[in-house]
Chains A and B, each alone.
Chain A
């Protein structure tokens, strides 16, 4: 029933409004920080969609790559500040992986600016507002992800490999 009702809503929106940013937030700090921002009614752009993960140490770079290759306009990862990890060291591993990922992104043809990672604690609602606002503005400047206009014969194995 009314299968594409929301599409009608979206048809009226401009290209800019269709931007989708995906955020991977650790359960203990940043997800709580985003909650705090909400409780304090700190206004933010609406382009972010949040996925809760237990720890940034759970953040597989594959998640970011999959999202970006499939058309995400930006990927934001946020966890506990260094030394504050609920699992003591998860965010240190995350930091290494995210740094490596950043350097790797150009090789798969993705603008490094579309990926950002940061640390926000559960009490830092204002910081979260700032992080979301700044990152969203940057993605809006970059515009929608141009995607991969490559031969489907190549895309298939590429997506399998990832």
Chain B
């Protein structure tokens, strides 16, 4: 190989403390080096021209530039050598500025160090080989998992941009948690008034294919080319025929079914449409409550259905969809308040969760929007809100802040005072966290204009006395014990990851934190991407956040997909792992350690199993390379012999 070495003086940045001329002269003594020089500014236009001219006149096959950090100019020089006809990976950069000339004033020691660094680069270059990136076509369809507000926003943004969208929703209607809310903070906007039109848009958009009452069964493939299997759960109703008229739900004799939409405050029928604005507005039979499916007698819905849509023999169906990118917007679930036995959640009927209270406040809820307590239907005179139930408490493994509770308590207390001006509202809080636009003003208004009484401190115990609940706690500001006789206690239950989040993450090969929230690629700079290329995050599945943040992240995820799909093919980075099948013993260790699921089994014709790298999925970390016992898997451009060449340059 004919190698050329260019030592940059970088003005006086390098030449001030390194004898660049001596380094260049020394470089000529290294094996394969046929040309070496120093230059004032190698990265400048004439500097690059100099390299290109030398490649031509001296027939150079590899270039070493000793200059600044490769994090600074590696791309620049790679482009320069590529223009002169070399492969971009036949270039090595020795860092003699940040790691050498700038960290010591000892010119002699620096010069020796620079020469060593150049030698290491030369030795590595000698075992480099040209690498070529390949291009893979992109299937320009996107899968959105979850039909809450984040998923809806992401799906609409993608569809409005002309992409085909497949949306999968676990429940029988989209809308997510936001659909259950009565109002939203801090503007007291009617939740269904702002969400409803968006839900209708999803239903009416020709670009969006909605699979409601469905779940992700399996995901395979990689960025640009995922294959997704979707389980369409049996609804026992032919949705192509069902008009959502609701006659069946009126006639159904099984009326004791748990009403999930109303958080168990009411009961519902076995055949059910969760709420009037449901999208799609189709009935679903709960097989655990249906008299015919459990006891073999009834079929009343079948008789009353005008369009003959009931199908008792319906089975789950697996559908395969091909997509190029995936947006995960699976949302959250709420903390189970019964974990705190001292509050009596789940034990006393008048100790309810804030989401249940939200349903009570809602005009479409079980009480028609009249505030009545669940036990006896009386209007409460004193309500205590307890914040941080399942938030910021390491003792229940929830040390994080749920980000929305302080705000929704302020909202619910304000609305309570609006509905029932005589009702006293007390809020027990740890700290008030209101870091949003107009948020702190909103909390202040609750305190100052609406007379909601905030006291700082924890409630220790809630117990019944007659038809009242005694709330005992401490006011740490006054340093006093307090006791309130309440009619209703509302627990501000925190956010936790959705049921099944971990399983989904494993199917998608994305990582999740210890609480089950999906991990973003970088907490600050890549909050929407995951470490699995082509999978993006939106909404609370990534961590607790409020509606505007979820919507924002939904749009961000959509724009990431648009960016990905703005080209027809994607160029793969050739610095990926590759398997030498002759050496691979098929132990599968590389498959186990790969954080990206980029390695899979491949069966040869003789039936033996070998590891195979999916080049477009591999991110080039080299974990497999260090793990592989026979060293059969090697990370291109950072192979064992390439690293050791640099090591041996110093010591051998």
Contact = CB atoms under 8 A, between A and B. Distances in A.
Interface of A: 1-6, 9-10, 12-13, 17, 20, 22, 27, 31-32, 34-35, 37-39, 41-46, 48-55, 57-60, 62-63, 66-67, 70-72, 86-90, 93, 97, 129
Q: Counting chain A CB atoms within 10 Å of each CB, which of B109, B623, B625 scores highest?
A: B623
Contact of B651 (A1, A20, A45, A52): A20
Given A55-B623, A66-B644, 20 more contacts: A1-B29, A5-B22, A13-B109, A35-B72, A35-B99, A38-B102, A39-B98, A46-B100, A46-B103, A46-B110, A49-B120, A49-B650, A60-B625, A66-B647, A67-B647, A87-B621, A90-B595, A90-B621, A97-B626, A129-B103
Contacts of A129: 103
A87 B131 CA distance: 22
7 contacts: A5-B22, A10-B112, A20-B650, A38-B98, A46-B100, A46-B113, A87-B621
Interface of B: 22, 25-26, 28-29, 69-72, 95, 97-100, 102-106, 108-113, 115-117, 120, 511, 519, 522, 531, 575, 593, 595-596, 619-623, 625-627, 635, 638, 640, 643-644, 646-648, 650-652
Contacts of B111: 9
Given A17-B109, A93-B627, A63 B650 contact: no
A105 B391 CA distance: 46
Given A49-B116, A54-B635, A90-B621, A44 B640 contact: no
Given A43-B104, A88-B595, A6 B646 contact: no
B88 to A, nearest CB: 17
Nearest to A12: B108
B25 A60 contact: no
The 9 A-B pairs at the shortest CB distance, nearest first, are namely A58-B622, A38-B98, A87-B621, A57-B623, A70-B651, A46-B109, A38-B102, A35-B98, A55-B621
Contact of B108 (A1, A9, A53): A9
B593 A39 contact: no
B117 A58 contact: no
Contact of A6 (B70, B99, B112, B619): B112
Contacts of B100: 38, 46
B20 to A, nearest CB: 13
B638 A54 contact: yes
B622 A55 contact: yes
B71 A35 contact: yes
A72 B644 CA distance: 13
A50 B95 contact: yes
A35 B97 CA distance: 9
Contacts of A3: 29
Nearest to A3: B29
A143 to B, nearest CB: 16
A6 B115 contact: yes
Contacts of B575: 54
Contact of A53 (B29, B95, B643): B643
A49 B118 CA distance: 11
A42 B98 CA distance: 10
B15 to A, nearest CB: 16
Contacts of B652: 70
B26 A6 contact: yes
Contacts of B593: 57, 93
Contacts of B625: 58, 60
A4 B112 contact: no
B626 A50 contact: no
Contact of A50 (B28, B99, B105, B621): B99
A46 B651 CA distance: 17
Contact of B103 (A5, A9, A37): A37
Nearest to B116: A49
B626 A35 contact: no
Contact of B117 (A35, A37, A49, A59): A49
A37 B103 CA distance: 8
Contacts of B638: 53-54, 58
Contact of A22 (B104, B511, B650): B650
Contacts of B104: 43-46
A13 B647 contact: no
A88 B522 CA distance: 9
A48 B69 CA distance: 15
B651 A71 contact: yes
Contact of A57 (B22, B98, B105, B622): B622
A42 B640 CA distance: 32
B273 to A, nearest CB: 42
A12 B421 CA distance: 91
Contacts of A97: 626
B106 A88 contact: no
B13 to A, nearest CB: 10
A62 B97 contact: no
A121 to B, nearest CB: 12
A5 B522 CA distance: 47
A63 B643 CA distance: 8
A38 B18 CA distance: 14
Nearest to A68: B651
Nearest to A75: B647
B543 to A, nearest CB: 14
A148 B191 CA distance: 76
